[in-house]
Structure 1
Amino acid sequence: MKKRILILLTTIVMINADAQVKQNLTPETLWKLGRLGSQNITPDGKRILFGVTQYNMNQNKSELNFYTVPVAGGPMQQITNEPGSKSILKIGVGGRVTYMFEGRIWQMNIDGENLTMLSDKAMDDIDNVRLSPDGKKVIFTREVAAAKILGKDKYSDLPKSNAMVFTDLNYRHWDKWNTGKCSHVFVADINGGSITNEKDIMPGEPYDVPQQPSGGLEDMIFSHDGKSILYVCKKKTGKEYAQSTNTDIYQYDIASGKTTNLTEGMMGYDTNPAFSGDGSKLAWLSMKEDGYEADKNDIILRDNKTGEKINLTEKWDESVNSFLFSNDSSKLFFLAVHNGTEQLFQIDLHGTLGSPTAIKQVTSGQWDITSIVAQAANTLIVNRTDMNHAAEIYAVNLYDGSMRQMTTINNEIYNRTRLSKIDERHIKTTDGKDMLAWVIYPPNFDPAKKYPTLLFCQGGPQSALSQGYSFRWNFQLMAAQGYIVIAPNRRGMPGHGVEWNREISGDWGGQPIKDYLSAIDDICKESYVDKNRLGCVGASYGGYSVYMLAGVHNKRFKTFIAHDGLFDLKSWYGTTEELWFANKDIGGNYWNKDNKTAKRSYDKFNPSNYVDKWDTPIMVVQGGKDFRVPIEQGLQAFQAAQLRGIKSKLLYLPEENHWVLKPQNALVWQREFFDWLKETL
């Protein structure tokens, strides 16, 4: 009996000790999490090489180092340990790793030993480096002069001038002004320790590769035999560039210098080209409609012998995010958001191509599969997240879809952190449709208590709201401060069929805003929601939604936070850069009085028209280098609130764009965010 009591007491002490060790997530802890980077598999399929980025808050910068982990299972091993950015280029037979570091190409064994330098001089002006299949050539991007925009370039006797002269649009993009330079693809030879015979494959062309701002290494690849280069480019300038999404895939023959457009006549985004392992097929992602950046993304398959193309997903009612050929070229694995999560699917290329029956869902669960790394026998290596966990590497069993975690980058922190409960909730909208919402509860949630509750408004407006993990808009972090969060998949989000995704275009302030009100009203039916302490937060289109709801919420909310939101659509149309987005989503310009869609947007769906109805404290966040939602949007909203006598705060981030990228700025953002909620909610 005494022994049983002793065991019981010991167990209670251990449970209490564990409870004392575990803490709620804080902004400071969030920024201690390692962030999974690029990954590659050894040719024998036995090990994964991957990068992990850690942030140094004192130095306000990041550091990336390489690790390996066995595919069959086993501990992670760190193989580099020095500050600076690194990128994997290739893993050769025998495990010899080629990588970029400090502008040079290096090689080492997979265990980090036997380090040698392949390039004898630093090339600090290059980016997006990729090796040819035989390792004898390299492609990279470099900025070249394309036009004289700067005063000092136009007038040699005025070398200190920083004036800019423009005669066309696209004078700035995302967070950079057009200074007359553009990014070109170069090809060069690797001879011993030198890179020689550099050649610009786009000489004299005023176009960018990769696509700005979100393109990367995926925009340029070698062919299977290494004899040609494929690259993605939108060969338009000025007003044409600002109003079009028509990128094409070009093939450059290295020997002849001839360039061929492989997607001639395909009018939307064509991106992410990839060859099958045997080189017989080429696949890429494609959208049909020019000017619609959130159009359905399909997989196009091209027979390289005949040139015949087929749309593999045309009749499938979702949109593809990324894909990978199987090792034997008989299947395509792809990722897509479906019913509120991003999952893995496969297409049997020996089946009835183009038929939905050829598509099979491989995984399912309350998580997102965010990228596909490689295939190793009957296992697929992927990255997985959920709202409580940042990305880790997992192995998917291709027979049954079961998953095994391979990396434990952040387990030490998770073991000390209380996690949130996350529920899927289904809500009837005002037009009688079913809407999925995620509900995130505070750690140690007690349904007998009442909690302040936040409505989260997603941006995009066609961005998915699934089980992703954000290092800024982090639901686990919000819940850890004592808030319930409801995050609805309102009209416009992918994963619920193409029509649901399309319905937001031209109707920003209509049904999607009603969907948000349906979500907050539905969660308020629960006894644990404090109906007198409701907040509303969001960024980009989510910030627009906050500004709209501030004028129509009918006293539901006690506080608002809008980050880089669109406040006045007329001034926004006059200053934003990617006009294809405005033309598609709000209907176009404001001076065409015959355009009924645009007129409704500017009259009925313009937040600035409802400022006279504002009556609730509001915090405004604005990036100084955000050219998508420029500075006047946040300043106008803050000024309007101040002049109306409404309690308000402006957080201005002069060096940030549409995101918050610098670590210390991100911590300021999160501290001010939660300070405002404590003060007003």
Structure 2
Amino acid sequence: MKRFALVLLLLVMPFTAVAEDKNVLSVELMWELQRIGSPVISPNGEHIVAPVTRFDMDKERGHTQLYLFSPDGSTQRPLTAQGMRASEATFSPDGSTLAFISQRDGDDAGQIYLLPMDKPGEASRLTSVPTGVYGLKWKGDHLYFITRIWPGKDWDEMAERLKQEKASNVSAKKWTALPFSHFDHWLDENRQAHVFRIAAEGGDVEPVTQNFNRELPRSTQSSGSYDIDPSGTWIAFTSDSKSENPEPEIDLFLGRIGESTAENITEANPGPDGNPMFSPNGQTLAYTRQVIPGFYADNINIVLFDMERRTHREITADWDRSATGLVWTPDSQGFYGAIDDAATVRVYHINARNGQVRAITGETNFGGLTIANNGTLVGTNESFLHPAQLVRINPSDGSTARLDTFNDDILSSVDFGTYESVTYEGYNGQEIQMWVHYPPGFDPEKKYPLFLLIHGGPHNAISNGFHYRWNAQTFASWGYVTAWHNFHGSSGFGQEFTDSINPDWKTAPYADTIAAAEWFKNQPWIDNDRMVAGGASYGGYLSSILLGKEHPFNALLIHAAVYNMYSQMAADFAVHSVRFGNYWDNPEIYKEISPHYFAENFNTPALIIHGQLDYRVPVGQGFELFRTLQSRGVESRMIYFPDENHWILKPNNSVYWYNEVKDWVTRFAEPGAR
């Protein structure tokens, strides 16, 4: 067994001391924190803008403002007024103007606003698009955006259609094909998402992708769905090339703006292609490629398309990591990326010529990378012990300079626990990484209860970042040792490890979970009679598997669980259907791994939680499980949120969720040292 202790907040204090004037990281305190989002730096490197969100518990809403920062850390001030939502900031090519999306007085939907950065002035509205705008980019003399339209209607007709829908007493939805939903909202199959543009000086809105008679993917779209070359001549965008099929095949199309045809340049690849990014010099179109249809965690590789030669060159095929969070270097010779790498999201440099990679940062998570023409690299940095902070990153050695001061006053009074990364032997003797969190004032001479957390995905590893919904430090502050184990199937440990649980979702992760519990049993500071566990989504699935098999836990927390693999056909994601066939094609797969087949063995008290607006794992899954437990006479509690989706996002609902979880685990594993 290997242990790698991290340098933590309490090193200046005796390990067992808890300062009397300190607070713990309670859920209420977390909702006081201001949350900084992904920044954008001006091309000339003079300005940095980032969204900052604060929450009003009484009004049950968040307020997002755009803040201005400077690369030397001397500036931190709001650019937009509180109460006026603002998002998707982007600079003009010369950095003199900031564009962003806001919905202000008189706006029925989000519109583009322009704010001068080189002189005093107020933001002015550029667009009046009745269907709203998102996915904003500024290229050359034009701003590009996405909006969802009714084909064949002009803007006035669409405005009237929206007005009629708002006034209608009919709430019915109708579909004749998939998809019908995405995550937490229903899709209107009569509308299409397209890219449009408008000149920065104003004028008419011009269609771009509509001219090609090809829409963006129906389920979800963003600024990452398309890109424009520096000359404003070409657009590269993603689209479903097999729209007549039940499941999409996302390809990359390339077309001249203003013309009527776009070429599918990735037709040969059966997996999804996406994230088009033209190089700063316009000579290369980079994009990402996955090769396995139906496997969202398939390794993501970078492909370079030579705009002159029309050739493709994959540069990261030999790298056993997914290339994500990418930005081109200003010289068009490489990329910086925020890479999921063995339970930490690190900044890497990737050489565009030979694909060589170099890790730049170390132990904590980075994201939201943005780079100026002079090479100034900015992003966010977070860890288990602090939320995202704005930082300037030195690409040479990974050192950082913090550029904001948000939350310092609040967190200075918080008594955090400590944490470390350990490894243990899991399924088939393979090494499993696990994060262990210790409560404030932890005394290794005493015994503590264990709260083992089971992550979702399943292909989403827990990395060294700040979590608002399932915060291990908050759980630990109740008096528990808590842990996240990155079981088989977790991302960031190589393709073979990630794909090792398909289609058998059950065997290896269950074995890894039991092995994690055994590892804790062997620690002198764990009370083997006070152990609980739980998770959400896939973590809820695996917790449901525990219900029907041998395990050491006194009680379970099961949130948004995939309980019945057959019922999952009602979701926007049917798990194995694309890659391994539907249940009528390969019934043995589903029977072997569906938790409901093990119901006759259920005897562990369980807290079941689900949201009505969860279309990723429909709410019926939670009620099926609760009815099963009640029918078997197993102590259980069902908590239903009529206004939440797969996650609990509203402030007061979140506080309620944490308090209910605390009440449940306290009943079956009394917190605190003994």
Distance in 2 of aligned mates of 1:179 and 1:393 = 38
Mapping of residues 277-676 of structure 1, within 5 Å: 277-350=280-353, 353-354=354-355, 358-365=356-363, 367-375=364-372, 377=374, 379-554=376-551, 556-572=552-568, 574-579=569-574, 581-583=575-577, 587-592=580-585, 595=586, 598-599=587-588, 601-676=589-664
| CA shift for structure 1 position 333 | 1.4
What are the residue-to-residue correspondences of 1:174-213 with 2, within 5 Å? 174-190=183-199, 192=201, 194-199=202-207, 201-202=209-210, 207-209=215-217, 212-213=219-220
- Tell me the residue number matched to 1:5: none
Contact 1:611 1:640 in 2 (8 A): yes
Number of equivalenced pairs: 641
Report 1:57-206 matches (<5 A). 57-87=57-87, 88-91=89-92, 93=94, 95-102=96-103, 103-110=110-117, 113-119=120-126, 122-123=128-129, 125-144=131-150, 160-190=169-199, 192=201, 194-199=202-207, 201-202=209-210
Deviation at 1:165, TM superposition (A): 4.4
Deviation of 1:233 after TM superposition, in Å, equals 2.1
**Using a 3 Å threshold, how does the CA distance of structure 1 residues 164 and 327 change in structure 2: closer, same or farther?**
closer
Report the Cα offset of residue 18 of structure 1: 10
1:202-238 deviation per Cα after TM superposition (whole angstroms, max 9, x unaligned): 36968544x634x422112222111232222224446
Query: Retained in 2: the 8 A contact 1:89–1:100?
Result: no
Contact map agreement 1:189 1:195 (CA 8 A) in 2: yes
- Describe the shift of the 1:582–1:430 C-alpha distance in structure 2 as closer, same or farther (beyond 3 A): closer
In 2, the alpha carbon distance for the partners of 1:634 and 1:250 equals: 41
Matches of 1:348 and 1:251, distance apart in 2: 24
Deviation at 1:94, TM superposition (A): 5.5
Distance 2:79 2:169 in 1: 46
Counterpart-to-counterpart distance in 2, 1:219 and 1:547: 36
Shift of 1:339: 1.9
Which has the higher mean CA deviation after the structures are superposed, 453-462 or 92-101?
Answer: 92-101
Q: Retained in 1: the 8 A contact 2:535–2:557?
A: yes
Give me the whole-angstrom Cα distance separating, in 1, the residues matched to 2:516 and 2:603.
Answer: 21
Extract structure 1 runs of 4+ deviating beyond 6 A.
none
SS at match of 1:407: coil
Distance across 1 between alignment mates of 2:172 and 2:45:
55
User: Separation in 1 of the partners of 2:187 and 2:114?
Assistant: 36
Deviates more, 1:533-542 or 1:654-663: 654-663
For the residues of structure 1 that align with 2:129 and 2:550, how far apart are their CA atoms? 55
Shift of residue 308, structure 1, vs aligned partner: 1.5
The residue type paired with residue 338 of structure 1 is D
Contact persistence 1:486–1:520 (CA under 8 A): no
Taking the TM superposition and a 5 Å limit, the aligned residue runs for 1:5-44 are 19-44=19-44
Q: Please state how far the C-alpha of 1:168 moved relative to its aligned partner.
A: 3.6
Tell whether the 8 Å contact from 1:146 to 1:204 is kept in structure 2 after alignment.
no
Aligned to 2:8: none
In 1, are the aligned partners of 2:45 and 2:376 still within 8 Å (CA)? no
Which piece of structure 1 moves more, 90-99 or 77-86? Answer: 90-99
SS of the residue 1:126 aligns to? coil
Deviation at 1:422, TM superposition (A): 1.0
Offset, 1:263: 1.8
Deviation at 1:317, TM superposition (A): 1.4
Displacement of 1:508 in angstroms is: 0.9
How far apart are the structure 2 equivalents of 1:639 and 1:571?
Answer: 15
Do the aligned partners of 2:39 and 2:368 also contact (CA within 8 Å) in 1? no
1:680 and 2:668 matched: yes
Per the alignment, do residues 112 and 570 of structure 1 end up closer, same or farther by CA in structure 2, a change over 3 Å counting? Answer: farther
Q: How big is the shift at 1:546?
A: 0.4
Specify every segment of 5 or more residues in structure 2 that has no aligned partner in the other structure, as ranges. 1-11, 104-109, 154-160, 670-674
Task: State how far apart, in whole Å, the 2-side matches of 1:582 and 1:146 are.
Answer: 37
| Counterpart residue identity of residue 583, structure 1 | S
TM-score computed with the length of structure 1 as normaliser: 0.88
Alpha-carbon distance in structure 2 between the residues aligned to 1:482 and 1:304: 59
SS in structure 1 of the partner of residue 219 of structure 2: coil
Distance 1:190 1:165 in 2: 37
* Kept after mapping to 2: 8 A contact 1:281/1:303: yes
What is aligned with 2:6? none
Is the CA contact (8 Å cut-off) linking 2:303 and 2:313 kept in structure 1? Answer: yes
Distance 1:49 1:541 in 2: 36
Q: Note closer, same or farther for the CA distance 1:181–1:482 as it changes in structure 2 (3 Å cut).
A: farther
Query: CA–CA distance in 2 between the matches of 1:250 and 1:578?
Result: 25
For residue 320 of structure 1, give the secondary structure of its aligned residue in structure 2: coil
Give matches, 1:208-227, under 5 Å: 208-209=216-217, 212-213=219-220, 215-227=221-233
CA deviation string 1:121-164 (max 9, x = no partner): 643522215344223343332232699xxxx99xx9x9754444
Q: Over the residues paired in the alignment, what is the CA RMSD in angstroms?
A: 2.9
Report SS of the residue matched to 1:408: coil
1:336 deviation in Å?
Answer: 1.6
SS in 1 for 2:546: helix
